[in-house]
Amino acid sequence: MCSSDLQTHSVPAALADGSELAAEVAPAAMTGPSLEPELFQLDDSRDVATELPAMRRAVERAERAAAYQQAVQNRLGRPYQAGNNHSLDGWIAKALGLLGLPQALATGVKTIIMHESGGNPNAINRWDSNAAAGNPSQGLMQTIPSTFRACVLPSLADRSITDPVANITAGIRSMIAHHGLQTVMAGGRRDANGNYVGYGGAGCSSYDIADYSTQLGRLWTNEPLPGF
């Protein structure tokens, strides 16, 4: 500390007690700039600057989640692009996409196909009662001609019964109509011993896919959704 500082803050020799010291020193200390309020203000501004973007992001996440759930519900029954025309898995994926159904059903559909046709799109059953009646089961899902015509996805109605994708759509729609979605999910019907039973039913009675919205809503994974 320099001598001038000592002179500025020196105490008069005539002081009888400490009151005059307090009177001389305290005003200088009181009138000097206080950093404490500014520090509080800086902390508050930092908190606000941090909290506002965080709150905004939370709102955006909530809105996006709500929009996603709405898109999932709207996706039900609406076609989307998936799969290919070159393999069994590709045919199944494409058929599910055209039907607007989750790809999570692919495992069950493939299990049914392997039991029905062994994965051969040109398979024809020439030995059962349908064959004896002149209506052999054909294709991957082994549909008879009348069931195929009644159940095939309308946009594929001009295709052959042995067309892989068209046949799968007919088989899936027939199974849902006659046995429910859970049968497709389970990979077909089973007897008491767990043996594959197959499926069937005349025609293709109408059903509302929205009735299965709760079940299907849990199955969507990475299927394309509008706006996402």
Query: Residue 128: its pLDDT value, please?
Result: 84
Judge whether 112 lies within some domain: yes
Query: Residue 61: its pLDDT value, please?
Result: 79
81, 224 in Cβ contact below 8 A? Answer: yes
pLDDT per residue, tens digit, the chain (228 aa), is 544 444 444 444 443 444 443 344 344 444 444 444 444 444 555 555 667 777 778 777 777 767 666 655 566 678 888 988 889 999 999 999 999 899 999 999 999 999 999 999 999 999 888 888 888 999 999 999 999 999 999 999 999 999 999 999 999 999 998 998 899 999 999 999 999 988 877 778 777 777 777 777 778 777 776 544
Judge whether 190 lies within some domain: yes
Judge whether 25 lies within some domain: no
Query: Residue 74: its pLDDT value, please?
Result: 60
Cα end-to-end span (Å), the chain: 69
Query: Residue 50: its pLDDT value, please?
Result: 64
Q: pTM above 0.85?
A: no
Judge whether 116 lies within some domain: yes
Query: For the chain, what is the largest distance between any 2 Cα atoms, rounded to a whole number of angstroms?
Result: 132
Judge whether 63 lies within some domain: no
Q: How many domains does the chain have?
A: 1
71, 223 in Cβ contact below 8 A? Answer: no
Query: Residue 49: its pLDDT value, please?
Result: 60
Judge whether 44 lies within some domain: no
Domain containing residue 118: 88-217
Is 105 exposed, middle or buried (CB count within 10 Å of its CB: 0-12, 13-18, 19+)?
A: buried
Query: Residue 203: its pLDDT value, please?
Result: 73
Judge whether 8 lies within some domain: no
Tokens 């009177």 -> residue: 23
Q: For residue 91, how many C-alpha atoms fall within 13 Å in the half-sphere facing its CB?
A: 23
Judge whether 189 lies within some domain: yes
